[in-house]
Amino acid sequence: MLTVYGIKSCDTCRKARTYLAQHDIDFRFHDVRDDGLDIQMLERWSARIDWTKLLNKQSLTWRKIPEVDRSDMSESKAFALMIENPTLVKRPVLEADEFFAVGFSEARFGEFLKRNA
Catalytic residues: 10
Cβ 29 vs Cβ 52: under 8 Å: no
CA distance 35 to 62: 21
Cβ 100 vs Cβ 48: under 8 Å: yes
CA distance 2 to 96: 5
Distance of CA 85 to the CA centre of its chain: 13
Q: In angstroms, what is the C-alpha Rg of the chain?
A: 14
